[in-house]
Structure 1
Amino acid sequence: MDRWQAMRIFVRVAETESFAEAARHLHMSAPAVTRAIAALEDVIGARLFVRTTRSVKMTEAGTRYFDDCRRILSDITEAEATAAGSYATPSGRLAVTASVLFGRMYVLPIMIEYLDSYPTMSGRTFFVDRPVNIVEEGIDVAVRIGHLPDSGFTAIKVGTIRRVICGSPGYFEKHGVPTVPADLKNHRIIASTGAWASPEWRFAGDQRVTIDSVLQCNTNDAAIATAAAGWGLTRVLHYQIGPALLNGDLRIVLADHEEPPLPIHLLHPEGRHAPAKVRAFVDLAISRLRGNPFLN
């Protein structure tokens, strides 16, 4: 039995919690994966997985073995890549994920600058408004907004974002400026159902206001455009209205009543063994995102 290959198979089964899914990722047949795990268990002398008709879970021995296997495989990969030079110079293809609007506004320009700096590299962006399993999707770097669960991945904080109430100067001239959250009851509200599905808006000091929106938009872009046109007030994330704030189309109100900001992190699974292509992108992204006034 090829012990290195058996470890690779074991790690992929553990990550996907599926023999069939691991087989698909490894371009193997499911029976071949099953035989490899059985042979590995025979050599080790312990069961690595508990199998049911619906799930595959690691045993206690499997969990300990998983951590060691990932370290060993990572060391092997690093040694091979170092010999080939890929840890010294960015090479290959880089895949990055982020939410749709944040990705388009802030990550895509970084990716373009990165590719201009490393002409031999190619890139792939995956901008979606849902959580992405970066291992299963083959993602090198993820930009995550919000508090992170414990994943064992490397996470680097690059900024913060605020939830803000905004409207156009023309709207405030006609309808006045709210000074406390309760004043929103007297204003025309545009709700973005994509980002704020709950009608209850929360503020600092555990203040809560149930919003009766006059218009519901399924995208933030639509809500922002409607607010900028002077039709009403909306609540979005600070970074989403950066250009509109700069050109004076929108103005933020109730800033003193905002909840604590949410963190922005760069996330990647490689840790200290990250190849040059990941390290170079992360270094550039840290510089650009931390230097952005709408992300801090």
Structure 2
Amino acid sequence: MDRWQAMRIFVKVAETESFAESARQLHMSAPAVTRAVAGLEDLIGARLFVRTTRSVKLTEPGSRYLGDCRRILSDIVEAEAAAAGSYATPSGTLSITSSALFGPMYVLPIVHEYLQAYPAVSGRMLFVDRPVNIVDEGIDVAIRLGQLPDSGFSAIKVGSVRRVVCGAPAYFAAHGTPTVPADLKDHRIVASTSAWASPEWRFARDHRVTVNAWLQCNTNDAAIATAVAGLGITRVLQYQIGPALLDGRLQIVLADYEEPPLPIHVLHPEGRNAPAKVRAFVDLAVARLRENRLLDRHES
């Protein structure tokens, strides 16, 4: 069996975590799948999977090799498409990553539109709140919030997002509205430990407040729901409360004391040599994110 086919089988086993299911999906016999993976392991000189009677899990070398295989297989598909004269037509699998909340709220609708426009493309989403190495994990496009490290990747700024303090109008009517950060000590604070584990909230002009949380939530969603219910004040990124701001369920306070906003970039590693599937998605994502009124406008 050739190396390309063996790598393709390895990726399928990693995705399904099952030799039998991989064989079924690839229309192969289970022994053939097992031999292909074993052959790769012999060639590489490392175990790719830990096998038990109930599960198949990647080893650490296997996890690293998976990212390389996905990238190589994608390159092969693009090379074949280019040789066939179809490089200008989006096709293949497009892998996209963003954060766990921003991705479903703002990126996924763009992906839906894109896949409907380009039926020859399939999508793979990775929405997680952890650092993602887009090369090792075979990612084509990343939508990143925050300052970017130097990487040599192509990055297009599409806007920015503020870190805001907010509460329900009913809460402020009952408890008063803070006008300076120090006022927060007299209010019910709903803290999201997933984003801000420190009890110290920092603001512009070196204002700092150590808050005594009335309620601690391990997710932003829970903290926001508590604030919407009128039970306290929370601090989140503006995009996370966009719909609640538009319909008046929440309002922002202490805007004059906000830290500088965090930039939003559409990032991809291939620059001008990006295949059609990447170029088409980047163009669409940049346009849709820049026109989204729930995000701060892009600054040139």
- TM-score normalised by the chain length of structure 1: 0.74
Contact 2:77 2:92 (8 Å CA) reproduced:
no
Q: What runs of 5+ residues in structure 1 fail to find an aligned partner?
A: 6-24, 35-74
Q: CA deviation at 1:177?
A: 0.4
Give the distance between the partners of 2:244 and 2:146, measured in 1 at CA.
23
Give the distance between the partners of 2:189 and 2:169, measured in 1 at CA.
15
Give the distance between the partners of 1:152 and 1:165, measured in 2 at CA.
35
Q: CA deviation at 1:197?
A: 1.2
Task: Identify the residue that residue 251 of structure 1 maps to in structure 2.
Answer: 251
Does the C-alpha gap of structure 1 residues 256 and 30 become closer, same or farther in structure 2, counting only changes over 3 Å? farther
SS in 2 for 1:125: strand
Task: Identify the residue that residue 194 of structure 2 maps to in structure 1.
Answer: 194
Give the distance between the partners of 1:205 and 1:243, measured in 2 at CA.
29
Does the C-alpha gap of structure 1 residues 111 and 76 become closer, same or farther in structure 2, counting only changes over 3 Å? closer
Does the C-alpha gap of structure 1 residues 115 and 31 become closer, same or farther in structure 2, counting only changes over 3 Å? closer
Task: Identify the residue that residue 175 of structure 1 maps to in structure 2.
Answer: 175
Q: CA deviation at 1:212?
A: 1.0
Contact 2:165 2:233 (8 Å CA) reproduced:
yes
2:111 aligned partner, one-letter code:
M
Contact 2:156 2:267 (8 Å CA) reproduced:
yes
Give the distance between the partners of 1:30 and 1:199, measured in 2 at CA.
52
SS in 2 for 1:88: coil
Q: CA deviation at 1:158?
A: 0.9
Give the distance between the partners of 1:137 and 1:79, measured in 2 at CA.
20
Give the distance between the partners of 1:135 and 1:250, measured in 2 at CA.
39
Give the distance between the partners of 2:147 and 2:165, measured in 1 at CA.
21
Give the distance between the partners of 1:29 and 1:226, measured in 2 at CA.
51
Mapping for residues 264-275 of structure 1, pairs under 5 Å? 264-275=264-275
Does the C-alpha gap of structure 1 residues 101 and 78 become closer, same or farther in structure 2, counting only changes over 3 Å? closer
Task: Identify the residue that residue 241 of structure 1 maps to in structure 2.
Answer: 241
Task: Identify the residue that residue 48 of structure 1 maps to in structure 2.
Answer: none
Contact 2:140 2:269 (8 Å CA) reproduced:
yes
Task: Identify the residue that residue 152 of structure 2 maps to in structure 1.
Answer: 152
1:196-232 deviations in Å (ceiling 9; x for gaps): 1111111111111111111110110000000000000
Give the distance between the partners of 1:128 and 1:85, measured in 2 at CA.
36
Q: CA deviation at 1:31?
A: 5.7
2:63 matches 1:94: no
Task: Identify the residue that residue 214 of structure 1 maps to in structure 2.
Answer: 214
Task: Identify the residue that residue 135 of structure 2 maps to in structure 1.
Answer: 135
Give the distance between the partners of 1:213 and 1:77, measured in 2 at CA.
53
Task: Identify the residue that residue 231 of structure 2 maps to in structure 1.
Answer: 231
Give the distance between the partners of 1:211 and 1:159, measured in 2 at CA.
30
Q: CA deviation at 1:153?
A: 1.2
Give the distance between the partners of 2:152 and 2:240, measured in 1 at CA.
30
Identify the range of structure 1 (108-117 vs 195-204) with the bigger mean alpha-carbon deviation: 195-204
Mapping for residues 277-292 of structure 1, pairs under 5 Å? 277-292=277-292
Give the distance between the partners of 1:77 and 1:151, measured in 2 at CA.
25
Give the distance between the partners of 2:187 and 2:109, measured in 1 at CA.
36
Contact 1:190 1:234 (8 Å CA) reproduced:
yes
RMSD of the alignment, in Å?
A: 2.5
Q: What runs of 5+ residues in structure 2 fail to find an aligned partner?
A: 5-36, 47-74
Give the distance between the partners of 2:276 and 2:45, measured in 1 at CA.
32
Q: Percent same amino acid at aligned positions?
A: 72
1:243 aligned partner, one-letter code:
P
Task: Identify the residue that residue 40 of structure 1 maps to in structure 2.
Answer: none
Give the distance between the partners of 1:130 and 1:110, measured in 2 at CA.
22
2:214 aligned partner, one-letter code:
V
1:5-64 deviations in Å (ceiling 9; x for gaps): 9xxxxxxxxxxxxxxxxxxx9x84476589xxxxxxxxxxxxxxxxxxxxxxxxxxxxxx
Aligned pairs, how many?
235
1:66-95 deviations in Å (ceiling 9; x for gaps): xxxxxxxxx999775432234200001111
Task: Identify the residue that residue 111 of structure 1 maps to in structure 2.
Answer: 111
Give the distance between the partners of 1:140 and 1:110, measured in 2 at CA.
15
Contact 1:100 1:127 (8 Å CA) reproduced:
yes
Task: Identify the residue that residue 10 of structure 1 maps to in structure 2.
Answer: none
Q: CA deviation at 1:293?
A: 1.8
2:117 matches 1:126: no
2:161 matches 1:161: yes
- TM-score normalised by the chain length of structure 2: 0.73
Contact 1:145 1:265 (8 Å CA) reproduced:
yes
The ranges of structure 1 where at least 4 consecutive aligned residues each deviate by more than 2 angstroms after the TM superposition are 27-34, 75-87
